[in-house]
Structure 1
């Protein structure tokens, strides 16, 4: 650990603003996390159990939900534990692991959303070749790349961050974040900033690709009534989720790099965790409510579960 000036733990100073209402915040956070796990698991199981939903679009949605469970698991359990603790610290290795998982969660989201935009473009603009273009094998390869590329990018970032010599151990957030570690460096590191900006630009290209694709889709959908119906039914949820994820993440990244220290700590905390709270909770609800196949299947499963519960009650009492 010589390259880190013998720093083995970091203190998370963002919790200073939560001292007066930790129990209330703990209860709300626990409820929010249970809700996130519940709605995402429901969507995953609905898609996995129904063979009619084993199509590229629904497989991509299933991957988004799996990614949510992966990403939020790196934040919520530790955050809940810290709310009940007198001292909020995290080990050096644990900090790097948390950075790795949270950042890969965010970038995998953009990768999968880009795949979903491409899938909808082929389905609406080139329907005759859809099944040959989006074959099961190609879908599997695209999903693999949507996870592998972000993981490789973050391995590079974490490797560079781990070589920094640090002259501080106080992180002004509720969780570990790469830019906060870079700011603790004893000297400026242009390489870290450049690599970070390149990766941000790379995923900004993802957003531009998605926007351009949906512009093409809108132009194509306006030509026919069937196209408009298909666009509203399958593409509007993707656009809502894209806006949700992009706004939340961009807000956090821009504030982390250029935000003012004069902003109240409680407001900074909210801005820091919104991309770990709003997209994981809202996205599966959006898909579940708007996508007809998923909505009907979930209602069917709920009714089936209710009937089984009634039968068990009758068997128990009669």
Structure 2
């Protein structure tokens, strides 16, 4: 019979000895993290302080930028500490806290992108009814659901994983993952697997279906509409689509890495790809929207130049 227990700490086995280069890696990641914080904070302040940007599209964008800050803060400080440390262990409570932050970040991101596509669908397909359909109460409700549902869903996920009796405490990743812990369990994990599948469908598959439906309707209107309608659709939807594709790529690899054997992938490549959706998205998204949306771009220019 295999001995099982509840460990007080986990060992992250994906880290390797980089010698003196660890200080270089530390500076690179610190610079990256500070860039993420500065860019997202700038855009949050710009949207909150300018009444001309208190429109549904920009309020959803503000929610997206807050989530980028939240997700990157759940990873980068921990990553910086682990790079400088010689012993790559993490306490069980902190490990589950990180799982909560990382997983809820991913869920909020997908839901936020879904409500943004719904907003663009209403604006392009029903322009005359947009203000009556997208009311202040509806905006507040959509943003609240976007944040509250993932928090509750991940809390249940962790409540199912935390009591599991484990046969080991070595996680082959650079940060904690829920399925990595479930795979260490000696006890029955049927409930965990069923709920994990349910959670994936609700937080990933359904938002993607909503996004695909919205863009099918938008494309239909674009092909049958005027040149002005097509230009408006392209200018407002391009950043959203690029951001969605970027995040979906990172998320898909993360799911594949968790569920399947990826031993054939070089370790360094595996680490970089597993970190992709947590590192590139928080910096890529605000820069993309800041560059593509003229209203935000012009206000940022005035702010940085010291103009009122």
Q: TM-score, normalised by structure 1?
A: 0.92
| Shift, 1:194, TM fit | 1.4
The answer to whether structure 1 residue 241 and structure 2 residue 243 are counterparts is: yes
Higher mean C-alpha deviation, range 194-203 or range 176-185: 194-203
What pairs with 1:33-182 in structure 2 (closer than 5 Å)?
33-182=33-182
Q: Distance in 2 between matches of 1:163 and 1:227?
A: 55
* Cα contact 2:43–2:62 (8 A) shared by 1: yes
Deviations, residues 49-108 of structure 1 (Å, cap 9, x unaligned): 111000110001110110111111111101101111111111100000100110000000
Aligned length: 304
The answer to whether structure 1 residue 24 and structure 2 residue 50 are counterparts is: no
Q: Distance in 1 between matches of 2:258 and 2:20?
A: 25
Q: Distance in 1 between matches of 2:131 and 2:305?
A: 33
SS at match of 1:58: helix
* Cα contact 1:17–1:266 (8 A) shared by 2: no
> What are structure 1's unaligned runs of at least 5 residues?
309-318
Task: Please identify which structure carries the higher helix content.
Answer: 1
* Cα contact 2:6–2:163 (8 A) shared by 1: no
Q: Match of 1:254?
A: 256
SS at match of 1:11: strand
Change (3 A) 1:188 1:264: farther
> What are structure 2's unaligned runs of at least 5 residues?
none
* Cα contact 1:165–1:185 (8 A) shared by 2: yes
Q: Distance in 2 between matches of 1:32 and 1:86?
A: 22
| Shift, 1:20, TM fit | 6.1
| Shift, 1:273, TM fit | 0.5
Q: Match of 2:292?
A: 290
C-alpha RMSD of matched pairs (Å):
1.6
Q: Distance in 1 between matches of 2:220 and 2:261?
A: 38
Q: TM-score, normalised by structure 2?
A: 0.95
* Cα contact 1:17–1:265 (8 A) shared by 2: no
Q: Match of 2:207?
A: 206
